[in-house]
């Protein structure tokens, strides 16, 4: 069973916001979609670019380097130049903390 690691306070990530956290040395991007937090790899699957630095609207984040789009709920690549998905990670919010498991 995966260990959930506290990465942020629940109040640090309001709906519509994003942030990057480090979990066991790995960069993970968090996105709050209508009150539910999702976690994906922070690195674009096409080129090395931080997804947490991209434009985020609804369920979609846009890579700041080449404009590839990803669904933050599923990790699916939605547009070229990316064709491979990014990894997603389980998230739970409890005791006022956001916790992620790799």
Residue 5 CB partners (closer than 8 Å, separation 6+): 23, 24, 99, 100, 101, 102
> What are the structural domain ranges in the chain?
5-100
Taking only the tens place, the pLDDT of each residue in 44-84 is 999 889 999 999 999 999 999 999 999 999 999 999 999 99
Residues in the chain: 102
Taking only the tens place, the pLDDT of each residue in 28-52 is 999 999 999 999 999 999 988 999 9
Q: Quick one: 5-100 is in which CATH superfamily?
A: Rieske [2Fe-2S] iron-sulphur domain (2.102.10.10)
Predicted TM-score of the model (pTM):
0.95
């Amino acid at each position: 069973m995966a260990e959930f690691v506290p990465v942020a306070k629940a109040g640090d990530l309001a709906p519509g916001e994003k942030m990057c956290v480090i979990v066991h040395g790995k960069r993970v991007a968090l996105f709050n979609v209508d009150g539910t937090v999702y976690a994906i790899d922070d690195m674009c699957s096409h080129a090395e670019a931080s997804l947490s630095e991209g434009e985020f609207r609804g369920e979609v984040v846009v890579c700041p380097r080449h404009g590839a789009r990803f669904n933050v709920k599923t990790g699916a690549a939605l547009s070229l130049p990316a064709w491979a998905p990014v990894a997603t990670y389980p998230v739970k919010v409890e005791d006022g903390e956001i916790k992620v498991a790799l």
